[in-house]
């Protein structure tokens, strides 16, 4: 009897002092959500990091590839739904719009509702609160994901219209590829409205074009355009003078933190998605590594600062990646460490009759191809994907699609109010949670 009474008393004590459990009374304390412990901590800065195309399968493969947890693995909080307004499988424009504005839209649309009405982003809300803002990406900086934070257009392909909107909306730090969209057509660029680079310099932006110049920047407004189109994949970055994603993240933080009112920064690992489209497992892992290092830099700053919230969430999954393939209960992802070029690069090294397939693949992967594998590449109408699938099959990484898939995605968060992201969310919830944490007005 005494044991039973003790158990009942202990159980009641646990219920009343711990997790929010309904026990038949209307106490405000009992209604607090799981993140109540840090919901009132100050959030001055937010670093919103988006690994494009990334889901739990990428996370698992990358953990095996790295040999340990990623910098953000310990901070996983919940899951996120990804569907767009008009389909179960989203593209980056619709997903990004939801993640930036809290509004669902149709695939292909940037910063507008399905009927074309412009909507404010979390970056706009930060600007309204007098905070500094920044965008960083390894794609063209006018690509869909960065665009949704600083622009509104009916079609994601209208990158020349997106570029000037960044300056109109007051974005302070702009780092990535896409130089051609800022230069006038008279100089071989794609910008019909004039030379945006020269206009930016007159407005106080420091303009940089390589990693060395970026490392010397001291001001709080930067325009860094490191390629005419997209930046190089991480596998090939050592052959360029382009900064890494971590270096761009560090530079952006150092510029934006000068604002006493705080800042909002979005950082995209753009090319994880492109690797998924191409079924290029090595490219996917190395660009994930670059993103991992960027997140590590952000978390390091957040730990020192104490008032910075870091949020990490992909926008959709790409390629239907699996951990293990072909019915084999194993993974041999370690062989990807020997791959030194993308499948696209290797395909460009093939001669007209593809008679050098064996030599090219051996040079850049260390693999000795079988006759069956050689013929598979030789005879394929999609040689890049054929090369990548041969390598993926060797690593036992599987693929189900060359497009996006509609799976839920993990959400990670570190810093004050990070527990707000616990649970299952829709992608439109994320900017609303950030706005509430930063005490910003986002009324879409």
Neighbours of 244 (CB within 10 A): 19
DSSP assignments along 192-207, one per residue: TT--HHHHHHHTTPEE
84 counts as catalytic = no
Which residue blocks in 109-170 are alpha helix, DSSP H?
122-128, 144-150, 159-168
Give the CA count within 13 Å in the CB-facing half-sphere of 328: 13
Q: What is the dihedral of CA 303, 304, 307, 308, to 10 degrees?
A: -60
Which residue blocks in 349-418 are alpha helix, DSSP H?
357-365, 371-378, 383-395
**188: its two tokens:** 């071989």
At residue 134, the 3 state secondary structure works out as strand
When computed from its CA atoms, the radius of gyration of the chain, rounded to whole angstroms, is 23
Instruction: Check 70, 92, 392, 418 and give the catalytic one.
Output: 92
**139: its two tokens:** 């794609």
User: For residue 159, what are the β-bridge partners?
Assistant: none
Active site positions, annotated: 92
């Amino acid at each position: 009897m005494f044991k039973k009474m003790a158990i009942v008393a202990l159980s009641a004590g646990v219920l009343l002092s711990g997790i929010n459990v309904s026990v038949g009374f209307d106490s405000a304390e009992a209604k607090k959500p799981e993140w109540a412990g840090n919901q009132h901590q100050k959030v001055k800065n937010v670093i919103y990091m988006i690994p494009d195309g990334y889901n739990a399968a990428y996370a698992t493969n990358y953990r095996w590839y790295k040999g340990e947890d990623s910098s953000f693995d310990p901070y996983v909080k919940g899951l996120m739904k990804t569907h767009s307004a008009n389909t179960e499988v989203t593209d980056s424009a619709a997903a990004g719009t939801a993640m930036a504005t809290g509004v669902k839209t149709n695939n292909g649309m940037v910063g507008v509702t399905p009927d074309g009405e412009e909507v404010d982003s979390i970056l706009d809300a930060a600007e309204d609160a007098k905070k500094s803002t920044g965008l960083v990406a390894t794609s063209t900086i006018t690509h869909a994901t960065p665009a949704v934070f600083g622009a509104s257009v009916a079609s994601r392909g209208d990158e020349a219209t997106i570029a000037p909107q960044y300056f109109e909306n007051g974005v302070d730090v702009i780092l990535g590829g896409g130089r051609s969209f800022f230069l006038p057509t008279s100089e071989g660029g794609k910008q019909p409205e004039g030379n945006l680079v020269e206009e930016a310099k007159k407005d106080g932006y420091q303009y940089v074009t390589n990693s060395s110049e970026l490392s010397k920047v001291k001001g709080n407004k930067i325009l860094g355009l490191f390629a005419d189109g997209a930046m190089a994949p991480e596998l090939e970055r050592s052959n360029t003078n382009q900064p890494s994603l971590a270096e761009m993240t560090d530079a952006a933080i150092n510029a934006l933190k000068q604002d006493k009112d705080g800042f909002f920064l979005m950082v995209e690992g753009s090319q994880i998605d492109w690797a998924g489209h191409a079924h290029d497992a090595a490219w996917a892992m190395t660009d994930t590594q670059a993103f991992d290092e960027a997140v590590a830099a952000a978390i390091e700053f957040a730990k020192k600062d104490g008032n910075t919230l870091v949020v990490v969430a992909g926008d959709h999954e790409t390629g239907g990646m699996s951990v293990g393939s072909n019915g084999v209960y194993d993974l041999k992802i370690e062989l990807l460490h020997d791959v030194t070029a993308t499948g696209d690069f290797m395909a460009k090294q093939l001669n007209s009759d593809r008679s050098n397939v064996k030599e090219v693949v051996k040079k850049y992967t260390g693999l000795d191809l079988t006759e069956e594998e050689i013929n598979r590449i030789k005879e394929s109408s999609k040689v890049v994907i054929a090369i990548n699938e041969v390598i993926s099959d060797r690593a036992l990484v599987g693929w189900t699609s060359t497009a996006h898939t509609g799976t839920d995605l993990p959400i990670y968060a570190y810093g004050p109010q990070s527990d707000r992201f616990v649970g299952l969310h829709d992608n439109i919830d994320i900017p609303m949670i950030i706005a509430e944490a930063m005490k910003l007005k986002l009324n879409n």
